[in-house]
A and B are shown apart, each in its own frame.
Chain A
């Protein structure tokens, strides 16, 4: 099976702009989670989508939002970008059925906000 893919891989934006990142999970996986990775804060959970519904949410401001489509592909959006939003954004998918709990990560989208 193909792994988790993310597009774009790199982005440069300026403060105040908005950005949309995309994640395609492993075929058959229904859960997609998003994480922000920075040197200072490590890996922080943003939100999780399961069957097109947000199932879990982390402690990020409302500028961070997401959605999931019927084919399980997911997008996250960040509005009114701030310098501190510069980070590696990782998505991960899992089957989440029974004990099939492993989350598989994508390569990430590196966002630089200038």
Chain B
């Protein structure tokens, strides 16, 4: 069945360091891969997404890379700040026409120490 594996489950870094979260998906028809950030007691919010026709996308300190052959995608956060502390979820879907069905990874709790 459809599955997304996310690692690590927890990640602690010093302020200013980089953080990397990795996900692997099983459904080869997946072609849309969003990342969400969820702060304690708040709703998940999209921070970046990538489609299968692109190998990498960057938005300021955040970047996502996709390897369709390996069914693997990663989130990279550079120059981490304490406000980056949150739970991060990767997800996969089959894209337009099926975007409503997101399969999520288990989440990574990121702690950025000042």
Overall SS of chain B's interface: loop
User: Interface size (A, Cβ < 8 Å)?
Assistant: 30
The reply on B65 being an interface residue by CB < 8 A is no
- In the complex, chain A residues 7-55 whose Cβ is within 8 Å of any chain B Cβ: 31-33, 35, 42-45, 48-50, 55
Asked if A96 contacts B99 (CB within 8 A), the reply is: yes
Whether A102 pairs with B106 at a CB distance below 8 angstroms is no
Which listed residue, B36, B42, B102, B105, touches A33 by the CB 8 Å rule? B102
Contact A96 B100, beta carbon cutoff 8 Å: yes
Q: Does B55 contact A (CB under 8 A)?
A: no
A107 to B44, CA, bound (A): 8
The main secondary structure of chain A at its interface with chain B is strand
Could you tell me the distance in whole angstroms from the C-beta of A34 to the nearest C-beta in chain B? 9
Residue A56 interfacial (CB < 8 Å): yes
Judge whether A32 and B96 touch: CB under 8 Å: no
Nearest residue (CB) in B for A4 is: B43
Q: Which of A80-98 contact B (CB under 8 A)?
A: 90, 92, 94, 96-98
| Chain A residues near B32 (CB-CB < 8 A) | 101
Q: Are A42 and B106 in contact (CB under 8 A)?
A: yes
